[in-house]
Amino acid sequence: MNTEYFKKTFRDIFQAEAVLFKSPGRINIIGEHTDYNGGLVMPAAIDKAVYVAVSKRDDHEIHLYSESYQSKYVSSVAAIQKTEHNWVNYILGVANEMVQRGHQLGGFNLFIYGDVPLGAGLSSSAAVECATAFALNYINQLSIPQMELALISQKAEHTFAGVNCGIMDQFASVFGKKDQAMMLDCRSMEYEYIPLKLDGYKLVLLNTNVKHSLSDSAYNERREQCDKGVNWIKDHHASVEYLRDVTQEMLLAHVKAKDENVYRKCSYVVAEIERVKKAAAALKNGDLSTLGKLMFETHKGLSEDYEVSCKELDFLVDQVKGLDYVLGARMMGGGFGGCTLNIVRDEEIDRLIDNVSVKYLEKFGLKLDAYIVETGNGSQII
């Protein structure tokens, strides 16, 4: 990111001096659809980020400019409303949530730019929200703790983007550290850093370049199915609050007969939480082959039981299954498109990308994009 260019462009547009913030996108090694079930996740921040330049205004107006969309938007602190532009909603959603929580916001100019690929499941929206939250916290001198900035960002996604997401993406974008994965307990919000030691291997993202439109509605529906299962179990086990507190035996006893579909959804989540624990142990022991096997299991669960995969993602995982230089692969994120995450031996990466790209183009007529993951630090002023 060329900070001088960014500052100069800001000056040209707003005739003011900017302060700059950066919030990264994320990958998730394992622990998918577990965050909103009080479970465990294992994300890491990446080196692709959203950048926000911001300055305070003397009035109460909000002036936004997006470099990627070459588009402007004007609003005011007193009249923050949802719009039909997603990029605007992520920013206004954060401002709105701060106001709702009683924080005093003044007017501001904000210029946004990013290199997190959009629609790839790398949480570009969480990055926009977190960068905005850090920026508004700073210029208004609000001293909001970092965890609350993540929660404010998550709430913006619920209220202004309409997705009832968990906390994983915003957490990763705030707390990420270079060369570290993080295991977050989404019930207690305790977390630990786990060094990403991948000796001889790298994490490779294969981007389907598709995002099927049902992704948001299906996401919210999955949440409801999980809640349904929890409620049925609560009738028998009052202390159960999340699927995190549930065992496979409880699901068999109280959910399976009522609704086979809800049972499969819940059973996937309970199994996935166990897989995260095993994956953390494997990563700490440098046992990448166990980690890889767990990733393949996660994909199977997401595809067959949780039903959030799609033919493009399944195809990409099938292509690498059985290759001795790919230890693990799975779809990543909410589903219905975006990327697969693969653990690939260093010297085979180019060959793998070439081979799979040709086959993907043949099969779907679509270009495959591939990125070798570099981890990065969390949200910060720059």
Q: Which is nearer to ligand GLA, 166 or 337 (CB)?
A: 166
The site string for ligand GLA over 147-186 (x = CB under 6 A, - otherwise) reads: ------------------xx-xx-----------------
Length of the chain: 382
Q: Are 179 and 196 in contact (CB under 8 A)?
A: yes
Taking the complex as a whole, the smallest distance from the CB of residue 291 to ligand GLA amounts, in Å, to 17
> Can you tell me the distance from the alpha carbon of 118 to that of 214, in angstroms, rounded to the nearest whole number?
17
Question: CA quadruple 302, 307, 308, 309: dihedral positive or negative?
Answer: positive
Bridge partners (DSSP) listed for residue 328? 343
Residues from 88 through 147 that contact ligand GLA (CB under 6 A): 123
33 in contact with ligand GLA (CB under 6 A): yes
Q: How far is CA 120 from CA 17, 24, 73, 115, 288, in A?
A: 33, 14, 25, 12, 25
Q: Which residues contact 206 (CB under 8 A, 6 or more apart)?
A: 316, 339, 340, 342, 353, 356, 368, 369, 370
> Can you tell me the distance from the alpha carbon of 92 to that of 82, in angstroms, rounded to the nearest whole number?
7
Q: Which of 12, 47, 115, 169 is catalytic?
A: 169
Residues from 322 through 351 that contact ligand GLA (CB under 6 A): 333-334
Taking the complex as a whole, the smallest distance from the CB of residue 333 to ligand GLA amounts, in Å, to 4
Taking the complex as a whole, the smallest distance from the CB of residue 302 to ligand GLA amounts, in Å, to 9
The site string for ligand GLA over 34-73 (x = CB under 6 A, - otherwise) reads: -xx-------------------------------------
Catalytic-residue membership of 314: no
299 in contact with ligand GLA (CB under 6 A): no
Of 328, 324, 301, 312, the residue nearest 363 (C-alpha): 312
Q: Which is nearer to ligand GLA, 186 or 349 (CB)?
A: 186
The secondary structure of 169-211 as a DSSP string is HHHHHHH--TTEEEEEETTT--EEEEE---TTEEEEEEEEEEE
272 in contact with ligand GLA (CB under 6 A): no
Taking the complex as a whole, the smallest distance from the CB of residue 124 to ligand GLA amounts, in Å, to 11
The stretch among 31-39, 175-183, 262-270, 374-382 that binds ligand GLA (CB under 6 A) is: 31-39
Taking the complex as a whole, the smallest distance from the CB of residue 61 to ligand GLA amounts, in Å, to 31
Enzyme catalytic residues? 169
**Contacting positions for ligand GLA (CB under 6 A):** 32-33, 35-36, 123, 165-166, 168-169, 333-334
